Amino acid sequence: TNHDEQHTPSLGALFQPFAAAGLSLANRIVMAPMTRGFSPNGIPGDDVVAYYRRHAENGVGLIVTEGTLIQHPSASASPNWPHFYGEESLNGWKKVAEAVHEAGGKIIPQLWHVGTTRKVGSLPNPEALPVGPSGLDDSGNQVNEPLTESEIADLISAYAQAATDAKAAGFDGIELHGAHGYLIDQFFWAQTNRRTDQYGGDFVSRTRFAAEVIKASRKAVGPDFPIVLRFSQWKGGHYDAKLVTTPEQLEQFLAPLTDAGVDIFHASTRQYWVPEFEQSHLNLAGWTKKLTGKPAITVGSVALENDFANHPSRIGRLADILEQGEADLVAIGRSLLANPEWVSHVRSNHTKDWTSYDSSILANLN
């Protein structure tokens, strides 16, 4: 054992293959979903195809695409975010899936509706009002009427249609974006869901919309097509938001989602090494896996900057999480954009010349 290795705990567990829940992956490294805004009029073009191909060639086990919008007038808040509907957009996505497969990778689209985070009068459809369970934005402003039950039924159908289209386009599964304060999460969260019908109530009742989206998607794709659900406690701008505050509540919250047909949970946290509850060192992904028995993806500030050299204890924690089976997969966001060769760098224990993430990186599709 040389000096360096003593200070850089082995991440060999990252390079074990994964086979469960209908997914076979070459390793445990997932490209986190990241909105990029390079799809004019909602259509992902050849540069987007090349971007995902490059990340597959660079060896990530699974790519979760940037959030891509279901078909609904107020799903989006930018004309440059990709649609997951319409012939041209779906043809673009089909090329993305083919390119990733040619490069030996796997890919799932992240299906998204922004809820009331969309600003009134904003592009791409200034005339479409934002929608959310109670028509409230995350600051409590009433921006629209609450969704009606028939509008909710239409939204559920739109997710299921996108799931059907993902399978037809050759993807390896889907991820439902149920995190960060967007539409599905707005049903989960008491602050944005004040409904008194079957879609509102306590934190268990507030899972109903997501559960119906999952069930409808499952019905659309059949039993062998993986459905990943991304969820979070934190919301954009509300880092200390909580859906649940104890493991018992988390178990009750996740049960209807598991029963509805989730195959893998993607537990979004900002720092993977932070315990979720006082009872143990487990993070949100660790608790989720323990309480549901389903595979889990962990995420949050993995190997930013010179983390590998400067924070051996954090990296040791990451190694432990995988080796102890607390989580199965690790998603990497910003560090992967800053270091497109992340996978081979880590595999060869090459922790020098690490590029720091800076948001200026987002100006190019790298």
User: Which position among 52, 85, 159, 182 bears the catalytic label?
Assistant: 182
CB of 60 to ligand FNR, least distance (A): 12
CB of 67 to ligand FNR, least distance (A): 3
> Could you say whether residue 335 binds ligand FNR (CB under 6 A)?
yes
Given a contact cutoff of 8 angstroms between Cβ atoms, the answer to whether 282 and 313 are in contact is no
Amino acid making up residue 174: I
> Could you say whether residue 35 binds ligand FNR (CB under 6 A)?
yes
> Could you say whether residue 255 binds ligand FNR (CB under 6 A)?
no
Q: Which of 23, 27, 33, 136 binds ligand FNR (CB under 6 A)?
A: 33
> Could you say whether residue 301 binds ligand FNR (CB under 6 A)?
yes
CB of 357 to ligand FNR, least distance (A): 7
- What is the rounded distance in angstroms from the CA atom of residue 276 to the CA atom of residue 233? 10
Is 182 in the active site? yes
133/178 with CB nearer ligand FNR: 178
Of 150-158, 174-182, 208-216, 322-330, the window that binds ligand FNR (rule: CB under 6 A) is 174-182
The residues, ordered by sequence, that sit 6+ positions from 352 with a Cβ below 8 Å of its Cβ are 309
Q: Which of 95, 118, 206, 230 binds ligand FNR (CB under 6 A)?
A: 230
Of 213-221, 245-253, 297-305, 343-351, the window that binds ligand FNR (rule: CB under 6 A) is 297-305
Find the residue with minimal CB distance to ligand FNR: 333
Classify 187 in phi/psi space as left (phi over 0), alpha (psi -120 to 50) or beta. alpha
> Could you say whether residue 333 binds ligand FNR (CB under 6 A)?
yes
34/103 with CB nearer ligand FNR: 34
Residues 111-170 that bind ligand FNR (CB under 6 A): none
Catalytic residue IDs: 182
Binding footprint of ligand FNR on the chain (CB under 6 A): 32-35, 66-67, 110, 177, 179-180, 230, 268, 299-302, 332-335, 362
